[in-house]
C-alpha cells in the first residue's frame, strides 16, 4: 500500500498530523471523510502520483493525527472546526514546500477542502468536493426525511449524552465496513485500529459538534459577505448515494462558486475512492489538466 510514498508525523503547532506523500508534479492534497483515515486513498494516490505530488494526511482527531484538548470554557468545539483543519492543510503543505496546490476532499474532508478554498484562495488552485455540500446548506434544508436518513449527524453531535459512550462500548456493532477483501487489507486494518481508539471516536464526534455550530457560522458569514470559491471547482457525486436528498447538488453548489461547476457522476456507493479508484483518478487528472487555475 502506497508503494514509493513516505510516511511522516509532522508537528504543526497545536497538532501533529500523520501524512503520506509521494509522486512528482503539481501538488494535490487528498482529504478523507468520516470515519476513514488517509489510507482510504490507497488505490487513488498511486494513480495520481505519476503526474502529481500527492499528499494524504489524517485529519486532526482522525486516524493517528492528534487533536488539541477540549476547552470547557470555549464550548463551540472550534478545535475541530473546518477552519482549524483548513489551517492544518495550509501549514502542512507549506512545511512540505508547496504554496499552491489542488485540494480534494470526500465527505467531511470535502468540508475541509471547501473551507481551505474559501479561507485561503491564494493557495488553492483547484477544488474537488466528493459527496458533500456546504454544511449550512444541509442544515437549512433539514426536514423529517433528512433527519431520519442522516440521523448520525444529530447523534454524533450531542453533548449532553455523548455518543462516545455508546460507540466505544462496542465499536464493532456501531461501525459496519466492507471486509479487507473489498477495501484492501492494510486499509481495513488501519481503519479498524482507528475505530477502536476512544481518542479517535471522540475526535470524530467533535468534528460533528463543530459542524452543527461554528462551521455553520463560518458558512453564514461567508455568504453574508458575498465570498465565493475563486478557483475551478468540480463535484464528484456517487451514483449510488443520496447527495441529492435536497435536490440537484450542482444547483446548491453554484452560488458558492465564481466559476461554473464541473459535475460528474461516479459509478459507486459513498466511498468512491475505494469503490471506483480508476474513475475517480481519471476525473481528477482530467480536471487538473483541462481547467486553468
From the list 91, 128, 123, 108, the residue with the least C-alpha distance to 40 is 108
Whether the ω angle into residue 59 lies within 30 degrees of 0, i.e. cis, is no
Active site residue 107: yes
What is the 3-class SS of 110-178, one letter each residue?
HHHHHHHHHHCCCCEEEEEEECCCCHHHHHHCCCHHHHHHCCHHHHHCCCCCCHHHHHHHCHHHHCCCC
CA 73 to centroid of chain Cα atoms:
28
Catalytic residue among 34, 95, 263, 270: 270
Catalytic-residue membership of 270: yes
Question: Residue 229 has what DSSP assignment?
Answer: B
β-bridge mates for residue 18, sequence order = 9
Q: List the grid coordinates of 100.
A: 499552491
At residue 181, the 3 state secondary structure works out as: helix
Residue 101 in 3-state DSSP? strand
Which one of 107, 119, 190, 207 is the catalytic residue? 107
Task: Give catalytic residues, as residue numbers.
Answer: 107, 270
Amino acid at each position: 500500500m502506497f508503494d514509493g510514498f513516505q510516511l511522516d508525523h509532522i508537528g504543526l503547532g497545536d497538532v501533529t498530523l500523520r501524512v503520506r506523500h509521494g509522486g512528482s508534479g503539481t501538488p494535490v492534497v487528498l482529504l478523507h471523510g468520516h470515519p476513514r483515515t488517509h489510507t482510504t486513498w490507497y488505490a487513488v494516490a498511486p494513480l495520481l502520483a505519476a503526474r502529481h505530488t500527492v499528499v494524504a494526511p489524517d485529519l486532526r482527531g482522525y486516524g493517528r493525527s492528534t487533536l488539541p484538548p477540549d476547552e470547557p470554557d470555549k464550548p463551540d468545539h472550534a478545535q475541530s472546526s473546518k477552519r482549524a483543519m483548513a489551517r492544518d492543510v495550509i501549514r502542512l503543505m507549506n512545511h512540505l514546500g508547496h504554496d499552491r496546490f489542488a485540494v480534494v476532499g470526500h465527505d467531511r474532508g470535502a468540508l475541509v477542502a471547501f473551507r481551505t478554498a474559501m479561507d485561503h484562495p491564494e493557495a488553492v488552485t483547484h477544488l474537488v468536493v466528493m459527496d458533500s455540500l456546504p454544511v449550512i446548506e444541509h442544515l437549512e434544508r433539514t426536514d423529517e426525511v433528512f433527519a431520519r436518513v442522516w440521523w448520525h449527524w444529530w447523534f454524533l453531535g450531542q453533548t449532553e449524552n455523548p455518543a462516545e459512550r455508546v460507540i466505544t462500548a462496542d465499536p464493532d456493532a456501531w461501525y459496519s465496513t466492507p471486509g479487507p477483501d473489498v477495501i484492501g487489507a492494510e486499509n481495513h486494518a488501519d481503519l479498524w485500529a482507528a475505530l477502536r481508539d476512544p481518542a479517535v471516536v471522540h475526535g470524530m464526534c467533535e468534528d460533528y459538534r463543530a459542524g452543527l455550530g461554528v462551521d455553520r457560522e463560518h458558512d453564514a458569514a461567508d455568504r453574508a459577505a458575498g465570498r465565493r470559491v475563486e478557483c475551478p471547482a468540480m463535484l464528484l457525486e456517487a451514483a449510488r448515494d443520496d447527495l441529492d436528498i435536497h435536490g440537484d447538488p450542482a444547483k446548491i453548489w453554484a452560488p458558492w462558486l465564481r466559476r461554473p461547476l464541473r459535475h460528474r457522476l461516479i459509478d459507486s456507493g459513498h466511498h468512491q475512492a475505494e469503490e471506483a479508484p480508476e474513475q475517480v483518478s481519471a476525473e481528477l487528472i482530467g480536471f487538473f489538466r483541462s481547467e486553468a487555475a
